[in-house]
Amino acid sequence: MHISVFFSFLVVLLARSVTPSHQKGAPGPPVILVPGDGGSQFEAKLDKPKVVHIWCDRKTSNWFPMWLNLELLAPYILDCFVDNMKLVYNNQTRQTSNMAGVDIRQPGFGNTSTVEWLDSSQLRPTSYYYHIAQAMVDWGYTRNVNIRGVPYDFRRAPNEMSELMKDMKTLVEQTYTMNNATRVILMGHSMGCPVLLYFLHQQTQAWKDKYVRSLITLAGPWGGAVKTLRLMASGDDLGVFVVNALSARPEQRSMPSSAWLMPYDTFWNDTEILVTGPHGNYTVNDYKRFFDDLGFPDGYDMRQDTEKLIDSLVPPGVEVHCIHGKNVKTPAAFHYSKKQWFDYQPDVVWGDGDGTVNIRSLHGCLRWQGKQKQKITHKEFANVDHLGMLDNKDVNNYIKTIVLN
């Protein structure tokens, strides 16, 4: 699976039952949902020069659902999936491309369906924004009219999102117009939050004042997450034993978004050791040596390509509602013995956070207080983890007070 680091609690969301309720209320402003890493459906079409195993498909006549498709994560065919999903980095152009002969698209731009559900086969429905969208429908909202969705290629960071930025701008304007000139609420989850911050940085204040009512951020990793360092070294098994972390690692490492979400030196200082290993210890200032010791120098280039995108954390210039979990055991550092380095999972030093993002990073939105004239509110939910934010009654009720106020 692409098996993103921000996705380790995926299993928790599998096969939840659907419980519609029937209260209708007056709807509030239109809402645009921007998912995080792993939160958009991908379709692929293949005509590959070569495959990694004879049982992998080399050519398909049609587009097929690739992410999320639980069937493709079975051990024997995981390698086929990884070889289709990974990106190729060119260290001269500093751009990524798909593997040769692989076409990938994210269906349904503007539509909520492809960010509500991940496994489109819905044999074992895997929900993402579904519970929030359905709650909004219960409050009187209508899908694809005043709830819209932004599926996108979450493998990439905003340095390769210029088309997406244009499309999002058009979607905001369209949604505003479709809803009788009502300013929209932008809602992000996980990596969707820094993507939205980057988007807002690109717009003029006049445009934001005209089109954007507020920004709601759910579990935003404003300063990165320590967990990404383990993914770079050893791969991430998503907390699911069926997925082999080492098999998934080539794909996980190939994503510039993984490099983008590594911890920032504006949040961790150079006395805090994040990774201990047999060849040395690594802080936020040691990424060059870290990637060299991993034999993966492209990783450092990708970090350099992406680290300045929002690292100065300029305030968004719109009203902000910053919401996240806390009091969940979250990786704060990793220890590798000589034997573990770096193909085995390390020992974990735990800290506070939402299970994926460290608490100091979740608190990054507080740095805007006093730096913009628009209001900033902050709400924490104890014991709600990173993906649990998307399916929690208390969180939904809180969102309701913001959206319908």
Residues forming the active site: 190, 354, 386
Question: Under the criterion CB under 6 A, does residue 349 sit at the interface with ligand NAG?
Answer: no
Site string for ligand NAG, 74-113 (x = CB under 6 A): -----------------x----------------x--x-x
Task: Please say which residue, 146 or 392, places its beta carbon nearer to ligand NAG.
Answer: 146
Q: d(Cα 286, Cα 118) in Å, to the nearest integer?
A: 36
DSSP character string of 336-371:
--TTTTTTSPPEEEEESBBSSSBHHHHGGGGGGTTT
Task: Residue 150: name the closest of 134, 168, 138 by CA.
Answer: 168
- In the complex, least distance from residue 14 CB atom to ligand NAG, rounded to whole angstroms: 21
* 267 and 361 Cβ atoms separated by less than 8 Å: yes
Contact of 352 with 327, CB cutoff 8 Å:
yes
Residues with Cβ < 8 Å from 164, sequence gap 6 or more? Answer: 150, 152, 153
Q: Do 41 and 64 contact (CB within 8 A), yes or no?
A: no
| Helix 245-253 with 227-234: angle, nearest 10 deg | 110
Beta carbon of residue 75, minimum distance to ligand NAG (angstroms, whole number): 30
Residue 113 Cβ, how far from ligand NAG at the closest point, in Å? Answer: 4
Site string for ligand NAG, 110-129 (x = CB under 6 A): -x-x----------------
Q: Does 340 bind ligand NAG (CB under 6 A)?
A: no
Query: Taking CB under 6 A as the rule, does residue 142 contact ligand NAG?
Result: no
Which SS3 state, helix, strand or coil, does residue 105 take? strand
Q: How far is the CB of 201 from ligand NAG (least distance, A)?
A: 28
User: 3-state class of 330 per DSSP?
Assistant: strand
178 phi and psi angles, rounded to 5 deg: -60, -25
Contact mark string toward ligand NAG, 268..287, x via CB under 6 A: -x-xxx--x---xx------
CB of 272 to ligand NAG, least distance (A): 5
Contacting residues for 101 by C-beta, under 8 A, at least 6 apart = 46, 47, 48, 49, 58
Task: Give the number of residues in contact with ligand NAG, rule: CB under 6 A.
Answer: 13
Whichever of 227 and 321 has its CB closer to ligand NAG, that residue is: 227
Q: Pattern of binders to ligand NAG over 177-196, x per CB under 6 A?
A: ---x----------------
Contact status: 25 vs ligand NAG (CB under 6 A): no
- List residues near ligand NAG by CB under 6 A: 91, 108, 111, 113, 144, 180, 269, 271-273, 276, 280-281
